[in-house]
Amino acid sequence: MKIVIVGGVAGGATAAARLRRLNEKAEIVLFERGPHVSFASCGVPYRVGGRIPSSEGLILQTPASLGRRYALDVRVRHEVIAIRRDEKRVTVRELETGRVFDEPYDQLLLSPGARPIVPDVPGARDGRVLTVRSVEDSERILALAKRGGRALVIGGGFVGVEIAENLVHRGLAVTLVEAAPQVLGFLDPEMAVHGRAALERHGVEVLTGAAVVGFETGESFAALLEGGRRVEVDLAIAAIGVTPETPLARDAGLRLGARGAIAVDAQMRTSDPSIFAVGDAVEIEHSVLGTRAAISLAGPANRQARVAADTMMGVEARYRGSIATSIVRAFDVTLGAVGASARQLRAANLAFRSATVHQTHHVSWFPGASDVHLTVHYAPGDGRVLGAQIAGEKGIDKRLDVMATVIRHGGTVHDLIDEELAYAPPFGAPKDPINLVGMVASNDLTGHAPIVDVDAARELMARGALVLDVREDSERARGAIEGSAHVPVDSLRARLHELPRDRRIVVYCAVGRRGYVGQRILLQNGFDAVNLTGGFSSWNARRAGS
């Protein structure tokens, strides 16, 4: 059997190694257009920031190392320019010599990846407009990123935030421009605000709702923004996303999905049963939404590569889709999400409810406690967890991984209550934020303590609901929901006669806990009351993120 692989990195190189472990006799040829067959593209921003001292630290495997360990025929600087499906051959150009030749295959695996998007505006082809994708990109950025200089980052997603942080570490002044109303668009606005705040605390100028319309080139270099602002910089980084590399598949007549990525089945087969595809170039199922999407994440690419290799070798395997588990750091704040956001759920017309808690990452009385902000979206019937978002300084990744596991296995908010998580004072709490958000959501679904999120609270207010602040006087003096009444929770039982019984009451406190106590007092005394989940903290975060 002869297997040809087009493209290395997470998809192609992983598949090649798995294929060899399954079949010692197969002939495996891997063509990679670039100079490196296996490198850590996710590490490029950290190479720029100096966390990775040299470019060699990004290179995971070489043709020689793969050849020694796995007996693979790896050829870098070789571009596959055509697939001749009827003959089961690919046409290859050796980039260093220009030689063109054909290579036969029994089975073909495509792992061409994706290419960075550069704004289609005047001046964007200038050599000072750079991308963040390859080892060579990191060296080009470092050549221009001089301490005391100025950089523009276009795009506030994962890569934009990471490269902004690392340019600051490099000693540059950074302006980040995002066309959307918020940075980190994979998050709900009230969660993304924590990322923006971290960027701004560390000196990054963040401009949302702004777009680059061109570049002034010449001896000086400047970005031109909508509205007429001119930002003079030494370099600009395009971090506005990627587009699947599919011309090869398209020209070969392989079926593409609605968004232009390669269509594959659960075994990673394309429309040609002899051709498989994995990684950033393919369209896969979002397991929560049930929709098809190109999800550019290294973890899914690795698992897809394993499935494709197993299937080629006759091993039963199936890719179960992606739940889009994502995490990013913005200086001292970590932000993560898994499953679907509120925006995605609305777009998919999926009914959901949301619960939010704000709690410290370990018990508050132990030194060093820092805030964790956690929101869970769940189905209104059975409570199945549809998505989770989390932000804070410590303990974010481990809780995100718990939520990912729950979602992957179809767990509910009721299951979150029973998760037995590690507790000792330096690490957590007897009621972890995971448990607590499950309790809040479960109370909501059972009717014990119905909650509303900020959007629902605003709708109730518009329909005449009374908003009741149960915080202390000193807290209210620092800010409150406009038009709200005020009765501190410890005085509530004695002042029930002051409240109307013919209006719904939206109760709120700082983070939701005292609001819950106040709500239970009201409910048991015949009032119609709901609790604002996340309290005034969530109200403020939504206002800042909108």
pLDDT tens by residue, the chain, 546 residues? 999 999 998 899 999 999 999 999 999 999 999 999 999 999 999 999 999 999 999 999 999 999 999 999 999 999 999 999 999 999 999 999 999 999 999 999 999 999 999 999 999 999 999 999 999 999 999 999 999 999 999 999 999 999 999 999 999 999 999 999 999 999 999 999 999 999 999 999 999 999 999 999 989 999 999 999 999 999 999 999 999 999 999 999 999 998 899 999 999 999 999 999 999 999 999 999 999 999 988 999 999 999 999 999 999 999 999 999 999 999 999 999 999 999 999 999 999 999 999 999 999 999 999 999 999 999 999 999 999 999 999 999 999 999 999 999 999 999 999 999 999 999 999 999 999 999 999 999 999 999 999 999 999 999 999 999 999 999 999 999 999 999 999 999 999 999 999 999 999 999 999 999 999 999 999 999 999 999 999 999 988 766
Residue 122 is encoded by which pair of tokens? 């005047």
* Dist CA 382 CA 413 (whole Å): 9
Residue 258 is encoded by which pair of tokens? 């609605």
Which amino acid would we find at residue 266? A
Using the structure block, give the residue that is written with the tokens 């929101």: 375
**Distances from the Cα of 73 to the Cαs of 5, 14, 35, 64, 256, in angstroms?**
10, 14, 15, 9, 29
* Dist CA 277 CA 112 (whole Å): 9
SS (H, E, C) 346-388: HHCCCCCEEEEEEEECCCCCCCCCCEEEEEEEECCCCCEEEEE
> What's the pLDDT score for residue 546?
64
* Dist CA 271 CA 262 (whole Å): 9
* Dist CA 208 CA 199 (whole Å): 13
CB atoms closer than 10 angstroms to residue 455? 12
* Dist CA 322 CA 43 (whole Å): 22
* Dist CA 276 CA 283 (whole Å): 12
* Dist CA 320 CA 299 (whole Å): 13
**Distances from the Cα of 172 to the Cαs of 195, 224, 526, in angstroms?**
19, 19, 60
Strand locations in 490-539, DSSP E? Answer: 505-508, 529-532
For 92, counting Cβ atoms within 10 Å of its Cβ (0-12 exposed, 13-18 middle, 19+ buried), the class is buried
> What's the pLDDT score for residue 259?
85
* Dist CA 145 CA 122 (whole Å): 22
> What's the pLDDT score for residue 429?
95
For 450, counting Cβ atoms within 10 Å of its Cβ (0-12 exposed, 13-18 middle, 19+ buried), the class is middle
Residue 275 is encoded by which pair of tokens? 């051709």
CB atoms closer than 10 angstroms to residue 410? 11
Q: Residue 28 phi/psi, 5° resolution?
A: -125, 120
> What's the pLDDT score for residue 83?
98
Q: Which of 421, 420, 449, 417 is nearest to 435 (CA)?
A: 417
* Dist CA 291 CA 323 (whole Å): 11
**Distances from the Cα of 107 to the Cαs of 249, 309, 311, 325, 385, in angstroms?**
15, 10, 11, 31, 39
Half-sphere exposure of 411 (CA within 13 A, CB side): 22
* Dist CA 163 CA 76 (whole Å): 27
* Dist CA 20 CA 26 (whole Å): 7
* Dist CA 507 CA 531 (whole Å): 5
**Distances from the Cα of 100 to the Cαs of 106, 111, 112, 317, in angstroms?**
20, 21, 19, 36
Sequence-distant (≥ 6) Cβ neighbours of residue 77 within 8 angstroms: 32, 33, 34, 35, 94, 95, 96
> What's the pLDDT score for residue 474?
97
The catalytic residue positions are: 509
What pairs with residue 162 in β-bridges? none
Q: Which domains does the chain have, with CATH numbers?
A: 2-113+243-312 (3.50.50.60), 129-240 (3.50.50.60), 326-446 (3.50.50.60), 451-545 (3.40.250.10)
* Dist CA 519 CA 509 (whole Å): 11
**Residue 246 near residue 258 (C-beta atoms within 8 A):** no
Query: Whole-model pTM?
Result: 0.94
Report CA dihedral (221, 223, 228, 230) to the nearest 10 degrees: -50
Which amino acid would we find at residue 307? V
* Dist CA 322 CA 307 (whole Å): 13
Q: Which of 300, 342, 351, 303 is nearest to 323 (CA)?
A: 300
* Dist CA 237 CA 132 (whole Å): 7
**Beta strands at 100-104 and 89-94: parallel, antiparallel or unpaired:** antiparallel
**Residue 138 near residue 48 (C-beta atoms within 8 A):** yes
**Beta strands at 59-61 and 275-277: parallel, antiparallel or unpaired:** unpaired
Burial state string for 160-175 with b = 16 or more CB within 10 A and e = fewer than 16 = bbbbbbbbbbbebebb
**Residue 385 near residue 403 (C-beta atoms within 8 A):** yes
Using the structure block, give the residue that is written with the tokens 């969660």: 191
Q: From its phi and psi, is residue 362 left (phi > 0), alpha (psi between -120 and 50) or beta?
A: beta
Q: Which of 277, 305, 298 is nearest to 20 (CA)?
A: 305
